[in-house]
Amino acid sequence: MKKILLIDISNSFTKTCLAVGDSISRVKRLPTPSLDAAQLRALHSPAKLDGVVLSSVVPEKNSEVQAAFSRVLEVGAGLDLGVGIDYPSPRTIGADRLANAAACAALHGFPGIVVDFGTAVTFDIVSQTGDYIGGVIAPGLNAMTSYLHDRTALLPNIKLREPSSAVGRSTRDAMLSGAVHGYRGLVREILSQIRSEAFPKKRPRIIATGGDAELIAGRVGLFDIVDPLLTLRGLLVIAQRNL
């Protein structure tokens, strides 16, 4: 069976893993700002790979992957994704969003909504006919809390976790409650609007992925599946259809 390296470059971290058949290995994470070809070659020997599939939202880092490996398939709207694209400017769709749509359709069916909790939170919709039709982009949870810390004199930077109560008894607890409960409210309202507009008659499968998926989605009660590795699974789906 082919050994495929899957690489997902996001704004904060780059995730890599090996895929053999339908199985993927343990995920390795590297800070994206310092990512370079030497790091990638040290983690994954090019000689042992049958191909590399890349999803990237940081274009300036793509050359590091190209320098590290000779056979790199960059995800874009021109590939066979297993989903159609009903969108005015297909080439402007983020590669991670296309990978999420591919994973949604191949692994969970359609219609579906994928909510990816990363540096930004993205909502991506696969229609009842299996087409990617667009979505929503909002600030990520860490971006919101970091903004409060950066733009105020007294509010601290907080580590995200489940609040012990809605009413904070300290500044940190108040910020934590506002961040987590407020963010769940944002997600709930956006999903409500998407469902009423795009799926008035049939409930879509709703999937959460990304770094904050388990924290936020676990208590909302709207998600059918929480899979932090969905984007990488989508890259494997794309690899199997194109390599």
Query: Cis before residue 111, ω within 30 degrees of 0?
Result: yes
The C-alpha atoms of residue 26 and residue 44 are separated, in whole angstroms, by 13
Q: Is 96 labeled as catalytic in the residue annotation?
A: yes
How many angstroms separate the CA atoms of 55 and 128, rounded? 25
Q: Count of residues for the chain?
A: 243
Decide: 133 and 151 in contact? Cβ < 8 Å.
no
Structure tokens at 221: 């009660």
Q: Which of 8, 96, 116, 227 is catalytic?
A: 96
Q: Residue 56, CB half-sphere, CA atoms under 13 Å: how many?
A: 19
**Residue 175, SS3 per DSSP:** helix
Residue numbers annotated as active site = 96
